[in-house]
Amino acid sequence: MSKERIGVYVCHCGSNIAGTVDVAEVSRWAGEALKDRGVVVSRDYKFMCSSLGQELIQKDIQEQGLTRVVVAACSPHLHEQTFRNACKEGGLNPYLCELVSIREQCSWIHPDKAVGTEKAKAIVSGGVEKVIWDEPLEPLRVPINPVTLVVGGGIAGIQAALEVANAGYPVIMVEREPSIGGHMAQFDKTFPTLDCAACILTPRMVEVGSHPNVKLFTYAEVTNVSGYVGNFQVTIKQKARSVDTDLCTGCGICQEKCPKKVIDPVFEAGLGYRKAVYTPFPQAVPKYPVIDRENCTYFLKGTCRACEKFCPTGAIDFTQEDEYFTVDVGQIILATGWDLFDARRIPQYGYGRLANVFTSLEFERLTNAAGPTGGKVVLRDGVTVPKSVAIIHCVGSRDKNYNPYCSAICCMQSLKFAHLVHERTGAEVYNFYIDMRTPAKGYEEFYQRVLEEGTHFIRGKVAEITDAARYPGEEGKLIVQAENTLVGKQMRVPVDMVILSAALEPRHDFKEVARLFGISCSEEGWLIERHPKLDPVATMTEGIYIAGCAQGPKDIPASVAQGAAAAARVVGKIQQKEITMEPIRASINQDKCSGCRICNNMCPFNAISFIEDRMVSEVNPALCQGCGTCVAACPAGAISGTVFSDQAILAQLDGLLLNNLKAIDLTPA
Amino acid sequence: MTSNGKPKFAMYWAASCGGCEIAVLNIHEKILDVDANFEVVFWPVAMDAKYKDVEAMEDGSILLTLFNGAIRNDENEHIAKLLRQKSKILVAFGSCATEGCMPALANLTSIEEVVETYYSTISTDNPQNIHPQPTYKAPEGEIYIPKLYPIVRTLDQVVEVDYYMPGCPPESHQIAAVIDLVIDVLQGKATLPPKGSTIGAGGSTVCDDCPRKRDVKKIKEFKRIQDVMLDPEICILEQGVICSGPATRNGCGALCPQAGSPCIGCYGPAEGVLDYGARLLTAVASVIDSNDPAEIERILDGIPDPAGMFYRFNLGGSLLRASKAAWAK
């Protein structure tokens, strides 16, 4: 018999639990069957999380002298804090309260009430056994480092960085490419207002580049992250620019003189050229170029050095090497963006085979005044203005062969393309769409405007794009074959140019990013938020936030909103000056530890040290985060975690299996 | 046999190799103390006795029984139950009795396959293809051999055990110390440890007694002992050869690693560890120095027989006890 006085509270959660679990029966059963295990009060209540429900617990703690509390309700993710606080208010140490889930783990997954009720009993029984082993604990407080790391210099990252920096706190921004700006910098116009992307973006870029609170690293990547919220250590790899930024004035002479022209697959989407020494675009921030060593003649053949010869300040430095350095930051915002779906994966659309099939990013570059054609919409030959253009929506999106999700921006982007084609060429425009999705402010109005401009809208998924003419008038054209589902007829539309509104996909290296920062991603590869509705920019890892398309496809306004939201979360935390941490810690039994050092390298927080003179390992409780890695790794079973000791877990299992109802003495010695 | 009034002592071998018996004799002159303080009533390897003599004894009349060997057949089980009934203190002696040891590795296959391998494979010289028959009708009457069970069990999976003495075999100095302790208890100079304790062993793991230099472990390749010249000073595991020392209870004095051979785990799990193999497995997995799934796969390929490696001594005493193949019938 346990010496504890345990209260059990079974929540109905409206009908969420009570619908498939006989809560009154569970409560009655716990009061009788678990009496010998120390249960002195057992109640069920409609909403335990309501203030009345919480008061019930507090009253029992005071009047019945409860020493342990078990609440059977929803997942601890939702209400563990609520019930711990309720216990605290009632005068009981909050860590003597166990919340067991009979909703997510029981009522929601069992259609059969009899089965659900029996399982709920077992779960409650497990909670009772576990709570007996719980110990009173005090939360830990550690100071928070006010420096914030922003990974990714697209519009979401820029917004986040500026919000934090303008609030007066230091920001470190890391961008993989030579310049910040992201995909938005590639665009000419933005929907639905058609304002110039560069005109609204570049002032922000300049602000980031010159902000006293922002330290910017471009052509750089994060290679390692350790530590925890408030105290992360981040290793950054600065790739060799081959340009001394202290000397470079950004005059551009090197780019002018460099004899090596290469196709730019990133910024120009493969549609234009850049030099081997380059800044991706004229308004790049920072203004310093980089030398692309894979293509530079000097690095390939050992001769040339034209840039070095002509550089007026002697800034070219071929001997630079990649540098690694470590920074301390308190919180991290990931705004790593998206990659474009590779349209070659749909061979029947002919991209890569039929010259005048373009991707959306290529078309963005075509329309851009600073792009390879100076903003002229022309065919791949560089001169012919198309007389008819087809724009295909949902290429690689909403298609179970490629990506099941909607890429969110393609409808509006395709409408924008239709408008720009009209405006710049006067061509006939055909938009092939599945469903038209224009849900945000001003979007539907823009759709109406493009309709009125005379765009042909054909509702149907394109089957094929071909250059094989079958009928007169098709010769030398691209023929778009589709079913017009509104009239129920197959149609062949001969056009000069096809634009594929390709899907937004997770960055190709999303797995590494997720692993590096210790967060999770969805099946497709989008980084997962803590809660899809109520906590969209936080992640399950405390202190790491996500913003923009890294979290899922979204347009510029939504990306900016998320960047600002993440910044608000970060600033809010910094202003608390210190963070409260769960007092869940690992400790090593010094008598059992043989000093084998298996655990030494395991700790992600570097909390374990080896004491040479005593030949044992020790955990520094100030650094330990209670993750449990070392507990699992210790071959001698010498490491134990508070709250999750082996005994507590085994006791919970015994409870789940109802072994506690048999005459076995499970009580802690 | 008439009693000489001294406390009675018994030792038995079930499914075992006989090494435990030799380890007991290896205590040298200490064996005279055993004789001086005990009356040996039953010890098949050392003296003649019949099971019916034991059956005739009064319940609880044997003070101390050291039981070695696992429970492989119905004879083993019968004697285990018999000795439990007749003994005050029953000690699971040695690895087979405490955790199954080598005999329990047969739990990875069916009993038919075990017998088949024994009598029919290419390495067996059995020209007449003789297989053991459970019963045989002789002119004098029917005789039978013990029936094999599909699963090898540890002693405590069959009867209640008072103490556990690990080792394959237990080290002689540990046996001597345990005998001294029991004699001290008899003379009122000491008390017995709590029932269920592991005796004749340490409270930590083999690394505690190992003099080799150790560092943080980062393993890029597992090697087998025959393929590598081991550095005599440095931790064997750090050199890529799996050493079970970190997971194995100490008490042997780290003999193997000191002789240049990895610990193979015969002293079993550390105090409080439920499943030895799982512990060793997670520890070894923890020190693989790679985050690349393909490379990890390649590194793990360096362990050709994981079940035999990690559960060499402990399969019978592990949480799973046996593979599905053995349970299937």
Q: What would the pLDDT profile of B140-159 be if each residue is shown by its tens digit?
A: 999 999 999 999 999 999 99
Residues of B in contact with A591 (CB under 8 A): 203-204
Distance from the A631 Cα atom to the nearest Cα atom in chain B, whole angstroms:
10
Q: Picking from A336-345, A369-378, A641-650, which range would have the lowest pLDDT averaged per residue?
A: A641-650
Nearest residue on chain A to B206, judged by CA atoms?
Answer: A594
Q: Is residue B15 part of a domain?
A: yes
Q: What is the pLDDT of residue A669?
A: 42
Q: Is residue B200 part of a domain?
A: no
- Cα separation values, A163 from A150, A542, A549, A560, B306, Å: 11, 20, 18, 11, 54
Q: Is residue B273 part of a domain?
A: yes
- Return the higher-pLDDT residue of B125 and A89: A89
Amino acid at B173: H
Does the distance separating the beta carbons of A600 and B283 come in below 8 Å? Answer: no
Does the distance separating the beta carbons of B283 and A633 come in below 8 Å? Answer: yes
Q: Are residues A344 and A383 in the same domain?
A: yes
Does the distance separating the beta carbons of B247 and A592 come in below 8 Å? Answer: no
Does the distance separating the beta carbons of A636 and B270 come in below 8 Å? Answer: yes
Q: Picking from A325-334, A396-405, B1-10, B174-183, which range would have the lowest pLDDT averaged per residue?
A: B1-10
Among the partner residues A591, A597, A638, nearest to B217 by beta-carbon distance: A597
Among the partner residues A635, A646, A650, nearest to B247 by beta-carbon distance: A635
Q: Is residue B300 part of a domain?
A: yes
Residue B1 pLDDT > 50: no
Among the partner residues A592, A601, A650, nearest to B217 by beta-carbon distance: A601
Q: Are residues A576 and A459 in the same domain?
A: no
Q: How many domains is chain B partitioned into structurally?
A: 3
Q: Are residues B34 and B141 in the same domain?
A: no
Nearest residue on chain A to B276, judged by CA atoms?
Answer: A635
Does the distance separating the beta carbons of B283 and A634 come in below 8 Å? Answer: yes
Q: What is the pLDDT of residue A655?
A: 95
Q: Are residues A332 and A210 in the same domain?
A: yes
Give the C-alpha separation, A220 to A237, whole Å: 5
Measured distance between the N- and C-terminal CA atoms of chain A, rounded to whole angstroms: 11
Q: Are residues B83 and B127 in the same domain?
A: no
Nearest residue on chain A to B287, judged by CA atoms?
Answer: A598
Token couple for B250: 């100490």
Q: Are residues A348 and A475 in the same domain?
A: yes
CATH number at residue A391: 3.50.50.60
Among the partner residues B273, B274, B287, nearest to A598 by beta-carbon distance: B287
Does the distance separating the beta carbons of B215 and A635 come in below 8 Å? Answer: no
Distance from the B154 Cα atom to the nearest Cα atom in chain A, whole angstroms:
22
Give the C-alpha separation, B95 to B267, whole Å: 7
Q: What is the pLDDT of residue A551?
A: 97
- Picking from A505, A534, A569, the residue at the C-terminal end of a domain is A505
B290 inside 8 A of chain A by CB:
no
Per-residue pLDDT averaged across A178-184, rounded?
97
Q: Which of A85, A131, A99, A139 shows the shortest CA–CA distance to A583?
A: A139
Per-residue pLDDT averaged across A397-417, rounded?
96
Token couple for A576: 């608390």
Distance from the A590 Cα atom to the nearest Cα atom in chain B, whole angstroms:
9
Amino acid at A178: P
Q: Are residues A259 and A301 in the same domain?
A: yes
Q: Are residues A229 and A165 in the same domain?
A: yes
Q: What is the pLDDT of residue A668?
A: 47
Residues of A in contact with B208 (CB under 8 A): 594-595, 615
Nearest residue on chain A to B289, judged by CA atoms?
Answer: A601
DSSP assignment string, B6-41: SPEEEEEESBS-SHHHHHHHTTTTHHHHHHHH-EEE
Does the distance separating the beta carbons of A593 and B247 come in below 8 Å? Answer: no
Give the structural domain span for B303: 206-325
Q: What is the pLDDT of residue B329?
A: 57
Q: Is residue A532 part of a domain?
A: yes
Q: Is residue B135 part of a domain?
A: yes
Q: Are residues B49 and B74 in the same domain?
A: yes
Q: Is residue B1 part of a domain?
A: no
Q: Are residues A421 and A494 in the same domain?
A: yes
Q: Is residue A54 part of a domain?
A: yes
Per-residue pLDDT averaged across A231-260, rounded?
95
Distance from the A171 Cα atom to the nearest Cα atom in chain B, whole angstroms:
30
B257 inside 8 A of chain A by CB:
no
Q: Are residues B211 and B235 in the same domain?
A: yes
- Picking from A463, A483, A505, the residue at the C-terminal end of a domain is A505
Nearest residue on chain B to A616, judged by CA atoms?
Answer: B208
Q: Are residues B75 and B182 in the same domain?
A: yes
Per-residue pLDDT averaged across A449-476, rounded?
95
Amino acid at B268: G
Please, what is the average pLDDT of chain B? 93
Residue A583 pLDDT > 90: no
Q: Is residue B194 part of a domain?
A: no
Among the partner residues B216, B235, B283, nearest to A635 by beta-carbon distance: B283
- A511, A515, A594, A647: which to substitute to probe chain B, counting the most B Cβ within 10 Å? A594
Q: How many domains is chain A partitioned into structurally?
A: 5
Distance from the B217 Cα atom to the nearest Cα atom in chain A, whole angstroms:
6
Residue A558 pLDDT > 50: yes
B205 inside 8 A of chain A by CB:
yes
Does the distance separating the beta carbons of A594 and B208 come in below 8 Å? Answer: yes
B182 inside 8 A of chain A by CB:
no
Per-residue pLDDT averaged across A257-266, rounded?
95
Distance from the B234 Cα atom to the nearest Cα atom in chain A, whole angstroms:
12
Q: What is the pLDDT of residue A561?
A: 97
Residue A468 pLDDT > 60: yes
Q: Are residues B72 and B49 in the same domain?
A: yes
Distance from the B95 Cα atom to the nearest Cα atom in chain A, whole angstroms:
18
Amino acid at A403: N
**Each residue's pLDDT tens digit, B291-302:** 889 999 999 999
Task: Assign A663 a pLDDT band (cuts: 50, 70, 90).
Answer: low
B319 inside 8 A of chain A by CB:
no
B286 inside 8 A of chain A by CB:
yes
Q: Are residues B141 and B157 in the same domain?
A: no
Q: Are residues B141 and B233 in the same domain?
A: no
Distance from the A599 Cα atom to the nearest Cα atom in chain B, whole angstroms:
8
Q: Which of A73, A622, A594 shows the shortest CA–CA distance to A608?
A: A622
**Cβ-based neighbour number of residue A5 at 10 Å:** 17
Does the distance separating the beta carbons of A600 and B216 come in below 8 Å? Answer: yes
Among the partner residues A594, A598, A610, nearest to B204 by beta-carbon distance: A594
Per-residue pLDDT averaged across B13-42, rounded?
92
Q: What is the pLDDT of residue A667?
A: 47
CATH number at residue A274: 3.30.70
Q: What is the pLDDT of residue B131?
A: 86
Give the C-alpha separation, B88 to B41, whole Å: 14
Structure letter (DSSP) for residue A37? G
Q: Picking from A305-319, A545-559, B23-37, which range would have the lowest pLDDT averaged per residue?
A: B23-37
Q: Are residues A353 and A448 in the same domain?
A: yes
The chain A residues in contact with chain B (CB within 8 A) are 515, 591-602, 610, 615, 629, 632-638, 646, 650
Give the structural domain span for A253: 244-321
CATH number at residue B167: 3.40.50.700
Among the partner residues B205, B218, B269, nearest to A596 by beta-carbon distance: B205
Give the C-alpha separation, A573 to A228, whole Å: 14
Nearest residue on chain A to B277, judged by CA atoms?
Answer: A635
Q: Are residues A382 and A499 in the same domain?
A: yes
CATH number at residue A590: 3.30.70.20
Task: Assign B245 a pLDDT band (cuts: 50, 70, 90).
Answer: very high
Q: Are residues B164 and B35 in the same domain?
A: yes
Q: Is residue B214 part of a domain?
A: yes
Please, what is the average pLDDT of chain A? 94
Does the distance separating the beta carbons of A599 and B205 come in below 8 Å? Answer: no
Q: Give residues 222 to 251 of B whose Cβ lies within 8 Å of A.
A: 235, 237, 245-247, 250
Strand pairing report for A195-196 and A189-190: antiparallel
Q: Is residue A192 part of a domain?
A: no
Q: Phi, psi (5° rounding) for residue A130?
A: -65, -45
Q: Are residues A302 and A441 in the same domain?
A: no
Does the distance separating the beta carbons of A633 and B282 come in below 8 Å? Answer: yes
- Picking from A286, A321, A356, the residue at the C-terminal end of a domain is A321
Q: Are residues A49 and A128 in the same domain?
A: yes
Does the distance separating the beta carbons of A633 and B286 come in below 8 Å? Answer: yes
- Cα separation values, B134 from A280, B121, B143, Å: 85, 21, 9
Q: Are residues B250 and B319 in the same domain?
A: yes
Residues of B in contact with A632 (CB under 8 A): 282, 286
Per-residue pLDDT averaged across B92-98, rounded?
97
- Return the higher-pLDDT residue of A504 and A626: A504
Residue A1 pLDDT > 80: no
Residues of A in contact with B287 (CB under 8 A): 598, 601
Q: Are residues A395 and A464 in the same domain?
A: yes
Q: Which of B64, B101, B98 shows the shortest CA–CA distance to B84?
A: B64
Nearest residue on chain B to A614, judged by CA atoms?
Answer: B208
What is the dihedral angle through the alpha carbons of A254, A257, A258, A260, rounded to the nearest 10 degrees? 160
Q: Are residues B51 and B94 in the same domain?
A: yes
Per-residue pLDDT averaged across A536-555, rounded?
95
Q: Are residues B27 and B117 in the same domain?
A: no
